[in-house]
């Protein structure tokens, strides 16, 4: 078993952007042999937190999957001369807030829906495996949009209802760069709120109109993140996948397709790349959506 954080890789896809990536290592588990959210979700799929740095200021986007991971993020920034740190939470899910305690003395920003979801799910998060205890809450909230400055860098936070109802996108408008949390995941989205797929689709359509050249997701291929991220076609691929999931009600035979077949065109075009551990994610997505149709 690895020491938590020992396999983290630190990249600089842009001069002002740090990417803290861990996981996607075949045969390696970071926390425990028995099933747990850290190994079987975030670590197996690959997980990345980010920091925007300008001068002695930094804005951390998600606090990663454990306290040791968060400590590495903070030490890396402080060793680089950062003295003022703020945090933005992309949404309330466990693998994005697990390191909050390391930044408890900082401003932790979230949209109001994220703050509410964390309050509503505090008991679950603090008693998960591994537990996030104590769960450190955001101490600064916004609704819809918030503009910030990190040193000389303009930052915009925008709420979206994609993957989770409380998503916050971090935009660097001067670079036309978007940090996407879990709203965009490669190769496919993880369906966390199956009853909100139509809401997600509407916000994907809204996002497609934004002036974006590159996208850095929290779950994606490390080599793509290192190279500066995905193009806006990742939005289109995500829309196509969600649209096809919604077709399951009228075309139940689609449920028999494996991931390679279900999104064959986008794999063939190179917009997204196949990664085996997403097969069970796809199987689960199909299952929860079919269950939702049955319950409706």
What confidence tier does 138 reach under pLDDT thresholds 50, 70, 90?
very high
pLDDT in tens, 251-264: 999 999 999 999 99
Asked if residue 144 is part of any domain, the answer here is yes
Residues 23, 8: Cα–Cα separation, whole Å: 7
Asked if residue 3 is part of any domain, the answer here is no
CA dihedral 125, 130, 131, 135 (to 10 degrees): -70
User: How would you class 76 by CB atoms within 10 Å of its CB: exposed for 0-12, middle for 13-18, buried for 19 or more?
Assistant: middle
What confidence tier does 139 reach under pLDDT thresholds 50, 70, 90?
very high
pLDDT in tens, 63-91: 999 999 999 999 999 999 999 999 999 99
| pLDDT computed for residue 1 by the predictor | 64
Domains contained in the chain, number: 1
| pLDDT computed for residue 296 by the predictor | 59
Closest CA to 88 of 5, 146, 18: 146
| Structural domain boundaries, residue 100 | 9-295
Average pLDDT, the chain: 96
Residue with the larger pLDDT of the pair 250 and 59: 59
pLDDT in tens, 185-199: 999 999 999 999 999
| pLDDT computed for residue 292 by the predictor | 76
Residue with the larger pLDDT of the pair 33 and 295: 33
Asked if residue 195 is part of any domain, the answer here is yes
Closest CA to 117 of 159, 60, 146: 159
Asked if residue 2 is part of any domain, the answer here is no
Asked if residue 4 is part of any domain, the answer here is no
| pLDDT computed for residue 2 by the predictor | 74
Asked if residue 99 is part of any domain, the answer here is yes
pLDDT in tens, 86-129: 999 999 999 999 999 999 999 999 999 999 999 999 999 999 99
* Predicted structure pTM score: 0.96
Indicate the SS3 state at residue 242: helix
Asked if residue 98 is part of any domain, the answer here is yes
CATH code, 30: 3.60.15.10
Peptide bond into 134 cis (omega under 30): yes
Asked if residue 224 is part of any domain, the answer here is yes
């Amino acid at each position: 078993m690895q020491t938590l954080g020992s396999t983290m890789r630190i990249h600089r896809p842009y001069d002002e952007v740090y990417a803290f990536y861990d996981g996607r290592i075949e045969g390696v588990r970071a926390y425990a042999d028995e099933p747990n959210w850290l190994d079987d979700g975030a670590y197996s799929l690959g997980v990345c937190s980010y920091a925007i740095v300008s001068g002695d200021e930094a804005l951390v986007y998600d606090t990663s999957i454990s306290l040791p991971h968060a400590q590495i993020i903070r030490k890396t920034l402080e060793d680089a001369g950062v003295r003022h740190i703020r945090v933005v939470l992309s949404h309330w899910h466990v693998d994005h807030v697990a390191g909050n305690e390391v930044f408890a003395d900082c401003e932790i920003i979230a949209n109001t829906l994220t703050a509410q979801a964390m309050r509503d799910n505090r008991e679950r998060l603090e008693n998960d495996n591994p537990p996030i205890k104590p769960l450190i809450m955001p101490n600064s909230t916004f609704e819809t949009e918030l503009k910030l400055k990190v040193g000389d860098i303009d930052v915009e936070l925008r709420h979206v209802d994609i993957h989770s109802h409380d998503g916050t996108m971090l935009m660097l408008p001067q670079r036309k760069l978007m940090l996407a949390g879990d709203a965009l995941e490669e190769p496919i989205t993880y369906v966390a709120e199956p009853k909100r797929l139509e809401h997600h689709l509407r916000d994907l359509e809204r996002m497609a109109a934004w002036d974006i050249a590159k996208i850095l997701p929290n779950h994606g291929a490390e080599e793509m993140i290192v190279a500066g991220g995905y193009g806006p076609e990742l939005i289109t691929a995500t829309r196509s996948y969600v649209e096809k999931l919604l077709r399951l009600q009228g075309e139940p035979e689609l449920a028999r397709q494996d991931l390679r077949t279900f999104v064959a065109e986008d794999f063939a075009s190179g917009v997204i790349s196949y990664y085996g551990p997403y097969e069970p994610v796809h199987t689960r997505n199909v299952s929860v959506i079919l269950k939702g149709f049955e319950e409706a």
